[in-house]
Amino acid sequence: MEDRKNDLAQIKKDLLTKRDELITRIEKIDQDFKNGRTPDPIDQATERENDDVLSELKDTAEFELSLVNEALHRIDEGKYGICSICERPINPKRLKAVPYTTQCIQCATRG
């Protein structure tokens, strides 16, 4: 039982660190969007391409942030590590690899 508490405390710490990293990444992307753009039409084309990439990166970071926040909520609710489909415990190795997963490997691979 004590090992589970220690593991859970470490997972929560890791998730909080990941959350902070994602928030910082999103803020940097937002700041880049706020920066002025060049008046040169050739450079504008490159900037538009960069904006498309940044937009995708931001979308990905925001999605991952939502998963991290949901995992932190499950920890606080005492529901972390339980499969949302079969309601069995998720293998600790899977949780270590993907700490915000909501499904055991069996349910996740069933599609």
Q: Comparing C-alpha atoms, which of 64, 52, 71 is closest to residue 21? A: 64
Query: Does 51 share its domain with 94?
Result: no
Q: What angle do CA 58, 63, 66 make, to 5 degrees?
A: 125
Q: Where are the alpha helices (DSSP H) in 78-97?
A: 92-97
Task: Write down the mean pLDDT value for the chain.
Answer: 90
> Containing domain of residue 102, as a range?
81-111
Query: Does 89 share its domain with 75?
Result: no
Domain count for the chain, please give it.
2
**Between residues 77 and 39, which one has the greater pLDDT?**
77
Q: What angle do CA 94, 96, 102 make, to 5 degrees?
A: 55
Q: What is the pLDDT of residues 84-111, one digit of tens each?
A: 999 999 999 999 899 999 999 999 998 6
